[in-house]
Amino acid sequence: MNWKFWKKENANEKKVVKQKSKAREWWDAILFAVIAATLIRWLIMEAYTIPTPSMENSLLVGDFLFVSKFHYGTRTTSTPLQVPLTHQKIWFTDIPSYVEWIKLPQYRLPGLTSVKREDVVVFNVPGIAENNLGVPRSQWRDYPVDLKTNYIKRCVGIPGDTLTIRNREVFANGTPIGKPEKMQFNYVLISKDKISERNLEKFEITAEDLLQVAAQNDGTFQYVLALTEEKLNNIKSANASYIVSITPYEDRQRGTAFPSAYTDSKAPQFNWSADNFGPLWVPKKGATIAINDTTLALYGYTIVEFDHNDNAKVEDGKLFIDGKEVTQYTFNQDYYFMMGDNRHNSLDSRFWGFVPEDHIVGKAFFIWLSLDKNAGLFNKIRWSRFFKLIR
């Protein structure tokens, strides 16, 4: 800016304008783009892709979606020294994209709303095991909260809810919650012969839906299929002569839900499974519970690992904070219970526990691209899913 605009320009004086080199122009453009993209990604919206079928058929493998940060409020970062536009590692390497020389307290900016029951939510999965799937235990890394692995699930329990699952149906405070339109369960289909690809396509069974095929001793074939109610009804109404039966997959895995991380040797065992679960109260900020064997089994791990206590531990069936035994505990933040719409094929809160409020990333907003990796070149794009709002 010319701060001497009041002075008359001397006609004999020539202005010398130094032109930027091409390299400098490119550098300025790239720098501006990186800064703008980083701010948009942090404050407003971030792009994600669906890598697993845990939300089928509500969200499909190969869906690309935008996630709104402003709905629930943007989080400030706890690790400011990070390579821009990266997550845990620098692209195509195993080199961490951040350093923890400086660690900042994390805050959440005001948002438009809070997480509601039945929202589809992106969050950082809390457990260290889930953040290191496929990695040898000796190499496990405990990432900062905002750099933990991103999961996407549907919220079925909000702070203060009492959650129960009975024969696959989810209840919040005794009332059935809404069922997602594309919710899936597993079914066992017995066929006289192996089902042809053409017939599988006719029933719209995709590679993600076909979980297992096994020949039986009597010459029949057993298929384990993940099906929506619509697909199930289509198979039943077809009255195909080669189908002997189709029945719900029986969940025999009692005692596998809410894993051993939540219990100690003196705690009662909860005979829960993915289909029959609870009742379980979801912790709420400011709520106080009595500390006993049952509450320690259900909430001890959460209190110690995620509730912002610097010196908390469970020892000999007792809770100690700052070296003192406590018989009552008040929660420091809200928690949520998340489940995938593909109910039998989702690693979710039934197995690794609650999602702390400070792990919430944003609300799944809309799909901007969808690619079918199993389709041919000319059918790879799912045009019908473009700009579809996520519900």
Q: Could you tell me the CA-to-CA distances from 247 to 30, 225, 233, 244 in Å, in that order?
A: 57, 10, 12, 10
Average pLDDT over residues 294-305: 91
Question: What are 163's strand-pairing partners?
Answer: 172, 280
pLDDT of the residue at 250: 77
Helices vs. strands in the chain: H and E counts, helices first: 5, 21
- Which DSSP helix (H) or strand (E) runs through 350? helix 349-352
The CA distance from 147 to 86, in Å, is 9
Query: Among residues 190, 96, 151, which one has the least CA distance to residue 339?
Result: 151
The model's pLDDT over 13-42, given as tens digits with 9 standing for 90+, comes to: 556 666 777 777 787 777 777 787 777 777
Average per-residue pLDDT for the chain:
87
User: What is the percent of the chain with per-residue pLDDT over 70, rounded to a whole number?
Assistant: 91
pLDDT of the residue at 214: 93
The model's pLDDT over 56-78, given as tens digits with 9 standing for 90+, comes to: 889 999 999 999 999 999 999 88
Q: Which pair of structure tokens corresponds to residue 45?
A: 């919206």
Query: Among residues 157, 155, 204, which one has the least CA distance to residue 341?
Result: 155
The model's pLDDT over 318-363, given as tens digits with 9 standing for 90+, comes to: 999 999 999 999 999 999 999 999 999 999 999 899 999 999 999 9
